[in-house]
Chain A
Amino acid sequence: DGGITQSPKYLFRKEGQNVTLSCEQNLNHDAMYWYRQDPGQGLRLIYYSQIVNDFQKGDIAEGYSVSREKKESFPLTVTSAQKNPTAFYLCASSIGRAANQPQHFGDGTRLSIL
């Protein structure tokens, strides 16, 4: 089945540690996105990528980094500079590069601080 796979489902981070969240899609979608969701909040855009080897900052990019070396992969690194990383992280993709296409989401990764 085609879809988006996020791993791990749960992740714990120690103080001062960088962690990387994986996002892989086999939908052959051009665009990929990372969102952060806090309890009772909507989705806030961290980074997005419309094409391989190119990505753009979203509304809350500080303390995060991404790469897009392959079309199907868009990993997110939560760096130690992100002081409040506890949240639910969602990866999404959409066909084409236009933002007005429906987005397909992975099951998410819940990140907590030890």
Chain B
Amino acid sequence: GQQVMQIPQYQHVQEGEDFTTYCNSSTTLSNIQWYKQRPGGHPVFLIQLVKSGEVKKQKRLTFQFGEAKKNSSLHITATQTTDVGTYFCAVLSGYALNFGKGTSLLVTP
């Protein structure tokens, strides 16, 4: 099945700074999903990208799917303490999803 590498593993920012996490694959992806997991919580679905070059926005979050459909990014503008958590990308692997290892974001007030 398809595999993804997520970088960075950890990111520590000051509140108000921007944050970006990347998800990379060696093969072409059919689609990609993004999830957020708050500390002590469970993953929550954020968005799914399907089309080459697709860009979707949710308030301060911008999601992008690469033109070659081999990578994706999640960008948060002006982070807030509520953005703390781990962000996972997930890709199709057979009849299930394969999750990246996630990027843990820590935001200092």
SS of B interface (majority): strand
**Is B80 interfacial (CB 8 A cutoff)?**
no
- When A and B form their complex, what is the total count of cross-chain residue pairs whose Cβ atoms lie within 8 Å? 57
User: How many angstroms from the CA of A35 to the CA of B93 in the assembled complex?
Assistant: 14
* Minimum C-beta distance from B35 to chain A (A): 8
Cross-interface CB contact of A103 among B6, B30, B97, cutoff 8 Å: B97
A residues 71-114 in Cβ contact with B at 8 Å: 90, 92, 97, 99-100, 102-108
- Beta-carbon contacts of B32-56 to A below 8 Å, as 1s and 0s? 0101000001111100100000000
Q: Is A33 an interface position by the 8 A CB rule?
A: yes
A: number of interface residues (CB 8 Å) = 24
Cα–Cα, bound, A18→B94 (Å): 30
> Smallest CB–CB gap between A21 and chain B, Å?
14
On chain B, the number of residues with a Cβ less than 8 Å from chain A's Cβ atoms is 26
Q: Is A48 an interface residue, CB under 8 A from the partner? A: yes
**Complex Cα spacing A56 to B96, Å:** 10
Residue A53 is within 8 A (CB to CB) of chain B in the complex: no
B31 at the interface (CB under 8 A from A): yes
Which of B11-19, B61-69, B71-79, B99-107 is near enough to bind chain A?
A: B99-107
Given the complex of chains A and B, what is the CA–CA distance between A99 and B97 in angstroms? 6
A58→B96 CA distance, assembly (Å): 8
Interface check B22, CB cutoff 8 A: no
